Chain A
Amino acid sequence: MAFEYIPGKTLFHRLDPRTKFLYWAVVITLAVSLGTDPIFTFALFLSVLVVIRMSKIPLGKVGEFLKGIAPVAGMYALFNMLFPPTATQFSKPYVFFYVIPNLLPITLEGIIWTFGAVLRFLIILLVVRTILMITPIRDLIIALIKLKLPPEFGMALSIGFAYVPVLIDENTKIKEAQQARGWKFEYRNPAKRFNALLRQMFIPAIFNSIRRTGDIAIAIESRGFSHNVAGRTYMRQLKYTKEDYAMTIALIAIFIGGIAVGPWGLKWAYYLNSVEAIKRFLQPHV
């Protein structure tokens, strides 16, 4: 399932969703600002894995997710390996071999670059996924409302999440109903295929959605949603605990530390330096 919540009582489950948002923001900012420095990005990646482990998320769930994004990650890796940004090129790159002679080399620098780029890609996706797995959707939405998202939008988001399984089920039914009438959707011609999909799948799907939207509107009105939206209460109360304050301080420290060692501060985490270091380490072996 796309938005599965895995219940638990670990530290990261207990944290206020707003603290989790801060965690998300810190990791994403660091991942982007470290500029795919392979060593520091790897360290950040490890920290994400540690959080996953501490949250007691079954490894199978993580594996499932990674398997799902593997094709995209693979494409991303291939593209980066073939075309690393010119700014990262050394004047004399270490070339393994040429894909197209004298034009498209596979270089050590390219591979190191790709390593960091793919890790950054995984970090960004894994962090979001982890937060969704350890936080009930409703808590996230309430946190967003506390952060000034209008409650109507919150409700819309919440309904959206609630209906994902229903929509998946409905689409399967529509597909099967059309197949039962001899419809094949594996046309070779992509235009034809798209057209068939549009007609036979989307028309019933849209018709059903419109009807359902009306029913949902009636249902929520009949339970007083528009009574006084601004004055509505929430059963789930968000509360900052000592853990949240401690985590916030830790996250701020990590953020400042990360920026300090990164390209804006001491420049320890600097792509070219790291590449040099890795090359020196690998030199005898390559």
Chain B
Amino acid sequence: MNDAVTLENVSYTYSGGIRPALKGVNLSVRQGESLMITGPSGAGKTTLCRSLNGLIPHYFRGKLDGHVTINGVDTRASTISALSHVVGLLFQDPASQLVNPTVADEVAFGPENYGVPPEEIRARVTKTLELMRLKGYEERSPHSLSGGEQQACALAGIVAMNPNIYVLDEPTSNLDPIGSSIVLNLMADLVKQQKRTMIIVEHKMEELLSLVDRLVVLNKGEVVLEGKPRELLDHIELMEKIGLKPPQVALLASKLKANRPDLPVPMTLDEAVTVFQKAFASRRGKRISLRQEPAQPKNEAIIEVKDLWYIYPAGTVALRGVNLTIHRGEFTGIIGQNGSGKTTLVKHFNGLLKPSKGSVVVFGVDTSGAGIADLSRKVGYCFQNPDHQVCCDTVKKELEFGPRNLLVPEDEIRKRVDEVATAVGIQDLLNVNPFSVSKGERQRITVASLLTMSPDVLVVDEPTTGQDYRMGREMMEFYKQLNERAGKTIIVITHDMNIAAEYVKRVVVLKEGQVLVEGPTREVYAKTDLLQTTYLKPPQITRLGQLLKDYGMPEDLLTVDEAVSLFEEHLGK
């Protein structure tokens, strides 16, 4: 018997759920195989993971049809704890799976539960921490680690249990670029060294496709594609259609293929370089460049930051002499790793933090003497997690909360709530309890509740983290409209270089509390070496352009669409 995992016609509906989360899924995973599962939000990926260690049907009771078999045992006939001994499950959010006071205890927790002798546990802890590059962190609180290290610690907790099958459910979705590369590298090591069965749920095809044996694409609870990654490159358009983010180089090639059926579709950046070097062989040395875009008109300065230093009460120096001017109508992205000072910087714009040294002037007012409430009339700050904010029992009250605090007249409030609800597309939800809607909708409600305060500037903290590609783009599309149609100044904090490339007009890159580089997006993205110093990687398409420099390609490509037209032109009809 070779199959580690078999799903036979599996359907599952959560209790209280209206439509099934999984519909007739058939899948088998061989012993030692590594399988990547991807799909948009709501595709049933997490549900599938939960069915593998018995959380479904033993914890989530709902309606399960068909058979899930792990190493020949039907999960119905087993228990969560018996299955978890074989199937190690890692979750998306590291913060809700680290339950022990120290890193060493966290790693020991699983083996302790299964009654492994203490000496053996100690040996495993030492070995696993070394493997996960967490040596020296034994006595630290897991929650004091960086995001990537937290997830590495959670993974260590699973590895120490020595499971036969690893199931990793979006392990990098909540992490910054450094954190994700830590975890992705560890996963790659695991795949190579341990030869265990691996099921990895991820969105990051660019990084993972070359590591896995097989790819499964889920959509709306069903398997829509399945096969070796390379075989599936012929279905790039379908992947894009259902809201996935296939490798940019593959997307580019498959779009060019319409006119050139013999063009191979590359899977990785290296392959793409080879493919296009060949295609451009006759064009060597001929330069081609993007049409110059008109520069963003500079309106009056509305936020002026001068030599800003901020030191937290505990002594951490978060900002070291930041200078920055935001003009009316700009769409700015603030980019950097966690801990680079992004959030600390923008918290000065509405007075949540006051400068330790230097000054911040917002609409002519020095923030050191101004109240948060007064500044919030001008600068709306949308926090990353809507669940830290939603506090009213109807969406309508939530939207009224801000303006009421600012003592806006009642008829004006009513008018604003109607306008904003329509603009954000939540008019049907006004009388609904905000806790009962989806997280994506709650995010919209949060933005709406700031817009009713009618601020000139909207600061949005990580609007795309933890969302799939399509939802992230929809959010950004919405901010773009606010910027272009309603004339709002938008400042987006993000560590997603790809999404910033598509939407943001100006980029400010922070590193260790200082501005590393800032300017129009195109100019900043061309400085790959500089960005590399803070471990930020420009999009794959930008790097492809840079690697094809000798073949005439520009160094500042931002999106696949512009690359398609440029490559078309360069290849000639």
Contacts and interface: CB of A to CB of B under 8 A. Distances in A.
A binds B: yes
Interface of A: 5, 7, 136-138, 155, 158-159, 161-163, 165-166, 170, 173-174, 176-184, 199-201, 203-204, 207-208, 211-212, 215-228, 231-237
Interface string B518-543: 00000000000000000000000000
A170 B450 CA distance: 20
A224 B391 contact: no
Interface string B293-309: 00000000000000000
A122 to B, nearest CB: 26
B389 A5 contact: no
A211 B139 contact: no
Given A136-B139, A138-B102, A235 B112 contact: yes
Interface string B69-93: 0000000000011101100010101
A180 B388 contact: no
A221 B80 contact: yes
B279 interface: no
A74 B60 CA distance: 53
A30 to B, nearest CB: 30
Contact of B96 (A184, A212, A231): A212
A208 B388 contact: yes
16 contacts: A138-B105, A158-B105, A162-B141, A179-B372, A182-B373, A184-B373, A203-B391, A207-B387, A211-B387, A216-B99, A218-B91, A220-B109, A225-B113, A227-B113, A228-B114, A228-B115
A26 B313 CA distance: 38
A209 B391 CA distance: 14
Contacts of A201: 391
B199 to A, nearest CB: 14
A138 B98 CA distance: 14
Contacts of A225: 81, 113
B383 interface: yes
A181 B405 contact: yes
B350 interface: yes
Nearest to A165: B143
Contacts of B367: none
Interface stretch (B29-37, B117-125, B238-246): B117-125
Contact of A159 (B53, B81, B99, B121): B99
Contacts of B148: none
B109 A223 contact: yes
Nearest to B390: A204
A137 B101 contact: yes
A236 B347 CA distance: 43
Contacts of B161: 223-224
Nearest to A161: B101
B463 interface: no
Contact of A237 (B109, B118, B401): B118
Interface in B397-420: 401-403, 405-406
Nearest to A225: B113
B120 to A, nearest CB: 9
Contact of A221 (B55, B352, B376, B388): B55
Contacts of A207: 387, 390, 435
A162 B101 CA distance: 5
A208 B388 CA distance: 8
Given A215-B93, A221-B59, A162 B100 contact: yes
Contacts of A212: 96
Contact of B84 (A138, A216, A221, A237): A221
A66 B318 CA distance: 29
Nearest to A227: B81
B388 A174 contact: yes
Interface in B313-333: none
Contact of A234 (B112, B114, B388): B112
A144 to B, nearest CB: 14
Contacts of B122: 235
* Best-buried of B84, B142, B371, B403 by chain A (most CB within 10 Å): B84
Contacts of A204: 387-391
A176 B453 CA distance: 16
Given A7-B139, A180-B350, A138 B100 contact: yes
B441 to A, nearest CB: 15
Contacts of A215: 91, 93, 96-97
Nearest to A141: B101
Contacts of B80: 221-222, 226
B157 interface: yes
A218 B59 contact: yes
Contact of A208 (B59, B109, B387): B387
B108 interface: yes
A271 B222 CA distance: 81
B116 A180 contact: no
Size bracket of the B interface: 35 or more
B96 A162 contact: no
A158 B125 CA distance: 19
Interface of B: 53, 55, 59, 80-82, 84-85, 89, 91, 93, 95-102, 104-105, 108-118, 121-122, 125, 139, 141-144, 157-158, 161, 347, 350, 352, 371-373, 376-377, 380-381, 383, 385, 387-392, 401-403, 405-406, 435, 449-450, 453
A236 B125 CA distance: 12
A235 B59 contact: no
Contacts of B55: 218, 221-222
Contacts of B141: 162, 165
A224 B450 CA distance: 44
Contact of A223 (B113, B350, B449): B113
B75 to A, nearest CB: 13
B354 to A, nearest CB: 13
Nearest to B55: A218
A157 B403 CA distance: 42
Contacts of A7: 139
Given A173-B385, A181-B453, A228-B115, 7 more contacts: A138-B100, A158-B101, A162-B99, A166-B143, A178-B389, A211-B387, A216-B97
A82 B52 CA distance: 68
A158 B93 CA distance: 20
Nearest to B377: A182
A224 B98 contact: no
A199 B405 CA distance: 14
Contacts of A224: 81, 84-85, 110, 113-114, 161
Contacts of A165: 141, 143-144
A146 to B, nearest CB: 14
A232 B112 contact: yes
Nearest to B154: A219
Contacts of B84: 221-224, 227
A17 to B, nearest CB: 14
A207 to B, nearest CB: 6
Contacts of B449: 181
A165 B98 CA distance: 12
A207 B112 CA distance: 31
A108 to B, nearest CB: 42
Contacts of B100: 138, 158, 162
* Best-buried of A174, A179, A220, A224 by chain B (most CB within 10 Å): A224
Task: List the 9 closest pairs (A to B, CB-CB), nearest first.
Answer: A182-B405, A215-B96, A227-B81, A219-B97, A177-B389, A235-B108, A181-B402, A224-B113, A180-B381
Contacts of A136: 101-102, 139
Nearest to A162: B101
Contacts of A161: 101
Contacts of A231: 115
B87 to A, nearest CB: 8
Contacts of A203: 390-391
B96 A216 contact: yes
